[in-house]
Amino acid sequence: MNLKEDLRKMALDNGMDYFGVGSVDRWANAPVGHRPNDLLPEAKSVIVMGVRVPEGCTQSNHRAYEGMRHGIFTYMLFGYNLINSYMEDVALKLAEYLNEAGSKVFLPPSSVGRDEYLMRGVISNRHSAVCAGLAEFGWNGLALTPDAGPRVRWVVIVTEAELEADPLYSGPPLCKKCKKCVKECPTEALSETESVDLNISDRTYIYGKLIKPICRSGVTGLAAGTAGRLQAQNVQQTVTKVEDWFKLAKSDNRWNRLERVAAMCGRCMILCPVGRNQIGENASAPTDLTQTKSFA
Protein backbone atom coordinates (compact mmCIF):
# COMPACT_ATOMS: atom_id res chain seq x y z
CA MET A 1 0.00 0.00 0.00
CA ASN A 2 1.42 3.41 -0.95
CA LEU A 3 1.46 6.59 1.11
CA LYS A 4 -1.68 8.04 -0.46
CA GLU A 5 -3.69 4.89 0.20
CA ASP A 6 -2.37 4.74 3.77
CA LEU A 7 -3.64 8.29 4.28
CA ARG A 8 -6.97 7.55 2.62
CA LYS A 9 -7.56 4.54 4.85
CA MET A 10 -6.60 6.51 7.92
CA ALA A 11 -9.01 9.29 6.98
CA LEU A 12 -11.95 6.97 6.29
CA ASP A 13 -11.25 4.87 9.39
CA ASN A 14 -11.41 8.08 11.44
CA GLY A 15 -14.85 9.05 10.21
CA MET A 16 -14.13 11.15 7.14
CA ASP A 17 -16.70 10.76 4.36
CA TYR A 18 -14.47 12.18 1.60
CA PHE A 19 -10.79 12.04 0.77
CA GLY A 20 -9.12 13.51 -2.30
CA VAL A 21 -5.80 14.92 -3.49
CA GLY A 22 -5.02 17.77 -5.84
CA SER A 23 -1.68 18.86 -7.30
CA VAL A 24 -0.69 22.40 -6.33
CA ASP A 25 -0.86 23.71 -9.91
CA ARG A 26 -4.66 23.57 -9.68
CA TRP A 27 -4.55 26.47 -7.22
CA ALA A 28 -2.63 28.69 -9.67
CA ASN A 29 -5.49 31.22 -9.88
CA ALA A 30 -6.07 31.44 -6.12
CA PRO A 31 -5.39 34.85 -4.51
CA VAL A 32 -1.75 35.65 -3.77
CA GLY A 33 -0.94 34.55 -0.24
CA HIS A 34 -3.61 31.83 -0.28
CA ARG A 35 -2.02 29.35 -2.68
CA PRO A 36 -0.46 26.12 -1.39
CA ASN A 37 3.09 27.24 -2.19
CA ASP A 38 2.52 30.53 -0.38
CA LEU A 39 1.80 28.47 2.74
CA LEU A 40 4.46 25.82 2.23
CA PRO A 41 7.05 26.71 -0.46
CA GLU A 42 7.94 23.05 -1.02
CA ALA A 43 4.29 21.97 -1.35
CA LYS A 44 3.47 19.47 -4.08
CA SER A 45 0.06 18.16 -3.01
CA VAL A 46 -3.06 19.22 -1.16
CA ILE A 47 -5.12 16.65 0.73
CA VAL A 48 -8.81 17.46 1.17
CA MET A 49 -11.17 15.65 3.53
CA GLY A 50 -14.85 16.20 4.20
CA VAL A 51 -17.69 15.21 6.51
CA ARG A 52 -21.37 15.38 5.63
CA VAL A 53 -23.55 17.68 7.72
CA PRO A 54 -26.02 15.42 9.57
CA GLU A 55 -29.68 15.64 8.60
CA GLY A 56 -30.62 16.59 12.16
CA CYS A 57 -28.61 19.77 11.71
CA THR A 58 -30.40 20.68 8.50
CA GLN A 59 -33.71 20.13 10.28
CA SER A 60 -32.67 22.41 13.14
CA ASN A 61 -31.84 25.10 10.59
CA HIS A 62 -35.34 24.72 9.11
CA ARG A 63 -36.92 25.10 12.55
CA ALA A 64 -34.92 28.26 13.24
CA TYR A 65 -36.12 29.86 10.00
CA GLU A 66 -39.70 28.78 10.65
CA GLY A 67 -39.77 30.76 13.89
CA MET A 68 -38.17 28.52 16.51
CA ARG A 69 -35.01 30.61 16.55
CA HIS A 70 -33.23 28.56 19.23
CA GLY A 71 -33.11 25.72 16.69
CA ILE A 72 -30.15 27.53 15.14
CA PHE A 73 -27.94 26.52 18.06
CA THR A 74 -28.08 22.83 17.12
CA TYR A 75 -27.02 23.74 13.59
CA MET A 76 -24.24 26.03 14.86
CA LEU A 77 -22.81 23.46 17.26
CA PHE A 78 -23.30 20.06 15.61
CA GLY A 79 -23.45 21.20 12.00
CA TYR A 80 -20.52 23.61 12.14
CA ASN A 81 -18.27 23.94 15.19
CA LEU A 82 -17.98 20.30 16.28
CA ILE A 83 -17.62 18.93 12.75
CA ASN A 84 -14.84 21.41 12.01
CA SER A 85 -13.09 20.63 15.28
CA TYR A 86 -13.36 16.90 14.68
CA MET A 87 -11.95 17.20 11.17
CA GLU A 88 -9.03 19.24 12.47
CA ASP A 89 -8.24 16.44 14.93
CA VAL A 90 -8.16 13.94 12.07
CA ALA A 91 -6.09 16.31 9.93
CA LEU A 92 -3.57 16.50 12.77
CA LYS A 93 -3.32 12.69 12.85
CA LEU A 94 -2.62 12.58 9.12
CA ALA A 95 -0.12 15.43 9.48
CA GLU A 96 1.76 13.51 12.16
CA TYR A 97 1.80 10.44 9.92
CA LEU A 98 3.21 12.52 7.06
CA ASN A 99 5.83 14.02 9.37
CA GLU A 100 6.92 10.53 10.43
CA ALA A 101 7.17 9.61 6.75
CA GLY A 102 9.54 12.56 6.27
CA SER A 103 7.14 15.05 4.64
CA LYS A 104 6.48 18.60 5.85
CA VAL A 105 2.91 19.84 6.15
CA PHE A 106 0.96 23.07 6.63
CA LEU A 107 -2.37 22.79 8.44
CA PRO A 108 -4.87 25.59 7.71
CA PRO A 109 -7.78 25.87 10.15
CA SER A 110 -11.02 24.34 8.95
CA SER A 111 -13.03 27.42 9.91
CA VAL A 112 -12.06 29.74 12.76
CA GLY A 113 -8.84 31.58 12.04
CA ARG A 114 -9.30 33.75 8.97
CA ASP A 115 -8.70 37.25 7.70
CA GLU A 116 -11.84 39.00 8.89
CA TYR A 117 -11.08 42.16 6.92
CA LEU A 118 -10.71 40.32 3.61
CA MET A 119 -13.37 37.80 4.70
CA ARG A 120 -11.11 35.07 3.44
CA GLY A 121 -9.62 31.93 4.96
CA VAL A 122 -6.00 30.80 4.85
CA ILE A 123 -6.94 28.66 1.86
CA SER A 124 -10.39 28.16 0.36
CA ASN A 125 -11.88 24.87 1.53
CA ARG A 126 -14.63 24.87 -1.09
CA HIS A 127 -12.21 25.58 -3.94
CA SER A 128 -9.91 22.92 -2.55
CA ALA A 129 -12.71 20.33 -2.65
CA VAL A 130 -13.18 21.07 -6.34
CA CYS A 131 -9.42 21.01 -6.99
CA ALA A 132 -9.20 17.58 -5.34
CA GLY A 133 -11.91 16.13 -7.59
CA LEU A 134 -14.47 15.73 -4.82
CA ALA A 135 -17.01 18.30 -6.00
CA GLU A 136 -17.99 20.92 -8.54
CA PHE A 137 -19.26 24.44 -7.99
CA GLY A 138 -22.93 25.31 -7.71
CA TRP A 139 -24.37 28.73 -8.52
CA ASN A 140 -24.20 29.37 -4.76
CA GLY A 141 -20.40 29.19 -5.03
CA LEU A 142 -20.28 26.17 -2.75
CA ALA A 143 -18.68 22.81 -3.47
CA LEU A 144 -21.39 20.34 -4.49
CA THR A 145 -20.98 16.58 -4.10
CA PRO A 146 -23.26 14.10 -5.91
CA ASP A 147 -24.61 12.54 -2.72
CA ALA A 148 -24.82 15.45 -0.27
CA GLY A 149 -24.81 18.56 -2.44
CA PRO A 150 -23.17 21.42 -0.54
CA ARG A 151 -23.94 19.97 2.90
CA VAL A 152 -20.33 18.99 3.58
CA ARG A 153 -17.64 20.55 5.77
CA TRP A 154 -14.07 20.45 4.48
CA VAL A 155 -10.55 20.46 5.88
CA VAL A 156 -7.23 20.79 4.02
CA ILE A 157 -3.65 19.55 4.48
CA VAL A 158 -0.88 21.11 2.38
CA THR A 159 2.14 18.82 2.09
CA GLU A 160 5.44 18.49 0.30
CA ALA A 161 4.66 14.80 -0.29
CA GLU A 162 4.16 14.13 -3.97
CA LEU A 163 0.86 12.23 -4.03
CA GLU A 164 -1.03 11.18 -7.14
CA ALA A 165 -3.72 13.75 -7.87
CA ASP A 166 -7.30 12.59 -8.28
CA PRO A 167 -9.05 13.58 -11.52
CA LEU A 168 -11.40 16.57 -11.42
CA TYR A 169 -15.08 15.69 -11.12
CA SER A 170 -16.36 14.69 -14.56
CA GLY A 171 -19.78 13.22 -13.83
CA PRO A 172 -23.15 14.70 -14.82
CA PRO A 173 -23.52 18.43 -14.02
CA LEU A 174 -24.81 18.75 -10.46
CA CYS A 175 -26.06 22.34 -10.44
CA LYS A 176 -29.11 22.88 -12.69
CA LYS A 177 -28.97 26.68 -12.20
CA CYS A 178 -32.37 26.64 -10.51
CA LYS A 179 -31.20 29.72 -8.54
CA LYS A 180 -33.01 28.56 -5.39
CA CYS A 181 -29.95 29.78 -3.50
CA VAL A 182 -30.60 33.28 -4.87
CA LYS A 183 -34.30 33.21 -4.03
CA GLU A 184 -33.80 31.90 -0.49
CA CYS A 185 -30.91 34.16 0.56
CA PRO A 186 -32.35 36.32 3.36
CA THR A 187 -29.91 39.14 2.59
CA GLU A 188 -30.03 39.04 -1.23
CA ALA A 189 -26.23 38.78 -1.24
CA LEU A 190 -26.03 36.39 -4.20
CA SER A 191 -26.56 37.71 -7.73
CA GLU A 192 -29.00 36.00 -10.07
CA THR A 193 -27.19 37.21 -13.19
CA GLU A 194 -23.60 38.28 -12.39
CA SER A 195 -21.08 35.48 -12.19
CA VAL A 196 -17.48 34.60 -11.41
CA ASP A 197 -15.43 32.64 -13.96
CA LEU A 198 -12.62 30.54 -12.54
CA ASN A 199 -10.11 28.38 -14.40
CA ILE A 200 -8.81 25.23 -12.70
CA SER A 201 -6.42 23.25 -14.89
CA ASP A 202 -8.13 23.19 -18.28
CA ARG A 203 -11.67 23.70 -17.01
CA THR A 204 -13.71 26.85 -16.43
CA TYR A 205 -16.17 26.98 -13.55
CA ILE A 206 -18.93 29.58 -13.28
CA TYR A 207 -20.80 30.51 -10.12
CA GLY A 208 -22.82 33.44 -8.82
CA LYS A 209 -21.21 36.65 -7.65
CA LEU A 210 -21.47 37.08 -3.87
CA ILE A 211 -21.27 40.40 -2.03
CA LYS A 212 -19.36 39.19 1.00
CA PRO A 213 -20.15 41.97 3.51
CA ILE A 214 -23.88 41.53 2.88
CA CYS A 215 -23.56 37.76 3.19
CA ARG A 216 -21.62 38.21 6.43
CA SER A 217 -24.51 40.28 7.77
CA GLY A 218 -26.63 37.16 7.39
CA VAL A 219 -24.06 34.65 8.61
CA THR A 220 -23.56 36.68 11.80
CA GLY A 221 -27.32 37.01 12.34
CA LEU A 222 -27.48 40.78 11.97
CA ALA A 223 -29.84 41.17 9.02
CA ALA A 224 -33.60 40.98 8.86
CA GLY A 225 -34.81 37.51 7.90
CA THR A 226 -32.00 35.68 9.69
CA ALA A 227 -32.07 33.83 13.02
CA GLY A 228 -30.42 36.75 14.83
CA ARG A 229 -32.09 39.27 17.13
CA LEU A 230 -30.98 42.58 15.59
CA GLN A 231 -33.02 42.19 12.34
CA ALA A 232 -31.31 45.14 10.63
CA GLN A 233 -33.24 46.39 7.61
CA ASN A 234 -31.95 47.24 4.11
CA VAL A 235 -28.48 45.73 4.46
CA GLN A 236 -28.37 45.55 0.65
CA GLN A 237 -28.09 49.34 0.59
CA THR A 238 -26.25 50.02 3.85
CA VAL A 239 -23.62 47.24 3.87
CA THR A 240 -21.44 47.43 0.76
CA LYS A 241 -17.96 47.09 2.26
CA VAL A 242 -16.39 45.35 5.22
CA GLU A 243 -16.31 48.56 7.29
CA ASP A 244 -20.10 48.76 6.97
CA TRP A 245 -20.48 45.25 8.31
CA PHE A 246 -18.13 46.02 11.21
CA LYS A 247 -20.15 49.10 12.10
CA LEU A 248 -23.35 47.07 12.00
CA ALA A 249 -21.79 44.33 14.12
CA LYS A 250 -20.93 46.87 16.83
CA SER A 251 -24.61 47.77 17.08
CA ASP A 252 -25.66 44.15 17.49
CA ASN A 253 -28.19 43.13 20.11
CA ARG A 254 -26.25 42.40 23.31
CA TRP A 255 -27.92 39.00 23.78
CA ASN A 256 -27.15 38.03 20.22
CA ARG A 257 -23.46 38.76 20.85
CA LEU A 258 -23.50 36.05 23.50
CA GLU A 259 -25.24 33.61 21.18
CA ARG A 260 -23.24 34.19 18.00
CA VAL A 261 -20.56 31.50 18.12
CA ALA A 262 -20.81 30.24 14.52
CA ALA A 263 -22.78 30.61 11.30
CA MET A 264 -26.39 31.69 11.91
CA CYS A 265 -27.59 31.39 8.31
CA GLY A 266 -26.54 28.65 5.88
CA ARG A 267 -29.71 28.84 3.80
CA CYS A 268 -27.92 28.55 0.43
CA MET A 269 -26.40 25.32 1.69
CA ILE A 270 -29.39 23.87 3.52
CA LEU A 271 -31.95 24.52 0.77
CA CYS A 272 -29.91 23.53 -2.28
CA PRO A 273 -31.76 20.66 -4.03
CA VAL A 274 -28.54 18.92 -5.10
CA GLY A 275 -27.64 15.79 -3.16
CA ARG A 276 -29.47 13.19 -1.15
CA ASN A 277 -33.14 13.81 -0.50
CA GLN A 278 -33.03 15.17 3.02
CA ILE A 279 -34.08 18.78 2.71
CA GLY A 280 -36.31 21.31 1.02
CA GLU A 281 -39.97 20.61 0.28
CA ASN A 282 -39.85 17.17 1.90
CA ALA A 283 -38.45 18.43 5.19
CA SER A 284 -40.74 17.76 8.13
CA ALA A 285 -42.24 20.76 9.89
CA PRO A 286 -43.85 21.21 13.30
CA THR A 287 -47.59 21.80 13.32
CA ASP A 288 -47.41 24.92 15.45
CA LEU A 289 -44.52 27.18 16.45
CA THR A 290 -46.69 29.66 18.36
CA GLN A 291 -45.31 30.08 21.85
CA THR A 292 -48.07 29.24 24.32
CA LYS A 293 -46.09 29.39 27.53
CA SER A 294 -42.62 30.31 28.69
CA PHE A 295 -40.22 28.25 30.71
CA ALA A 296 -38.99 30.08 33.77
Q: What is the pLDDT of residue 197?
A: 96
Q: What is the pLDDT of residue 113?
A: 77
Beta strands in 139-270 (DSSP E): 143-144, 152-159, 190-200, 203-210
Low-confidence ranges of the chain (pLDDT < 50): 278-296
Q: How many whole angstroms from its chain centre is CA 229?
A: 23
Read off the pTM. 0.91
Q: What is the pLDDT of residue 30?
A: 95
285 φ, ψ (degrees, to nearest 5): -135, 145
Q: In what order do the strands lie in the sheet with 18-23?
A: 18-23, 45-52, 152-159, 105-106
Q: What is the pLDDT of residue 76?
A: 95
Residue 155, helix vs strand vs coil: strand
Half-sphere exposure of 245 (CA within 13 A, CB side): 21
